[in-house]
Amino acid sequence: MRFSIFQDSLLGGRSVNQDRMGYSYTRDSLLMVVADGMGGHMQGEVAAQLALRALGLHFQSQGRGPIAEPASFLDAAFRRAHRDILRYCADNRLPESPRTTLVAAIVQDGRAWWAHSGDSRFYLLRGNRTLFRTVDHSKVQALINLGLIDESEQHRHPERNKVLNCLGSPIEPTVEIGGPEPLSPGDVLLLCSDGVWSALGEIELCTAFARTPVDVAVPRLVQMAIEREGSAADNTTALAMQWEGLDPVEVKVSSRDLPDGAMTTTIGPDANEAGEPSADLSEDEIEQTIREIKAAIERSDALGMRASPSAEPPLLATELGKEGAK
């Protein structure tokens, strides 16, 4: 696989950034994840971090070869993340469970699969058009589906922040799966929180990547969303990959450069002391996660709440992402 990939997140007008983002890849497969912690519930940033980490663990547990059934992988990974959040709630005797939306994609064998719960979105962009886009699990989208409001009204609707499906709810989440879709050179996979798509029109998202590399387009999009919304801006997070195909060409990332059995990730710690993937989070792992989140918040404060990892991180590098609200 050969591709370019970049991720970026900004705080916006919130006091805390509750978004998380990350990706992992082996020689055969790429996983991309964006989680948006829900600010209407306590510790949304924890739910987003637990979801990100659960998908990273599940990816590692598949071994270093191709994923046998990517659609089943995504469904199982989302449900594992949901269980981890509920377990965290029970172990810490919280009055309510933290919650997060989640969107993820798998690229393998020149094809893409994707899944989402909530209103964080996946876009497959080809040329100047959207080939596929996830449909939000939100009250506003339900009103659009029923013909009660026009799609143009969703960005300013008073109930635009009400999500009907998420991880961490007492109700088992709906995990909507898409794909497989064959990829063509130049295709862009964009995963983003609602802080990005609610501020920018779909045409802007499409044209942002036209003849523009992802390491330029992604931070530009995130900054545009912040500037468009001003003090009302939500956390804005985007992760994009431009596909270059299976044939050797000169691009920023080639999974062929990885040694057999190696993995590159920006998702964070993903194995126990024995070196094997954990089936579920232990109490010690949960406490470690919280310490990591607090450390990330302190680092983010010092850095102005911005992180833009390079397109080619070192093997097993870690990037916790960001910490704010829905």
Which domain CATH number covers 74? 3.60.40.10
Cα gap 196→208, rounded to integer Å: 12
pLDDT at site 247:
62
Task: Tell me, yes or no, whether 7 lies in a domain.
Answer: no
Tell me which amino acid residue 4 is: S
Query: How many domains would you assign to the chain?
Result: 1
Phi, psi of 298, deg, nearest 5 = -65, -40
Q: With a cut of 70, list the residues of the chain below it in pLDDT.
A: 40, 139, 141-142, 144-161, 247-263, 268-326
pLDDT at site 137:
84
Q: Which two three-digit tokens encode residue 314?
A: 């070192």
pLDDT at site 268:
65
pLDDT at site 304:
36
Task: Tell me, yes or no, whether 65 lies in a domain.
Answer: yes
Q: Which domain holds residue 269?
A: 15-183+251-302
Contact residues for 195 (Cβ-Cβ < 8 A; gap 6+): 12, 19, 36, 225, 229, 233, 234, 235, 236, 237
The gap from C-alpha 28 to its chain's centroid, in whole angstroms, comes to 20
Q: How far is CA 176 from CA 39, 110, 165, 292, in A?
A: 23, 21, 10, 30
Task: Tell me, yes or no, whether 140 lies in a domain.
Answer: yes
Task: Tell me, yes or no, whether 217 lies in a domain.
Answer: no
pLDDT tens-digit profile of 82-139?
999 999 999 999 999 999 999 999 999 999 999 999 999 999 999 889 999 999 887 6
* Of 140, 119, 143, the residue nearest 36 (C-alpha): 119
Task: Tell me, yes or no, whether 87 lies in a domain.
Answer: yes
Task: Tell me, yes or no, whether 198 lies in a domain.
Answer: no
Task: Tell me, yes or no, whether 214 lies in a domain.
Answer: no
Task: Tell me, yes or no, whether 156 lies in a domain.
Answer: yes
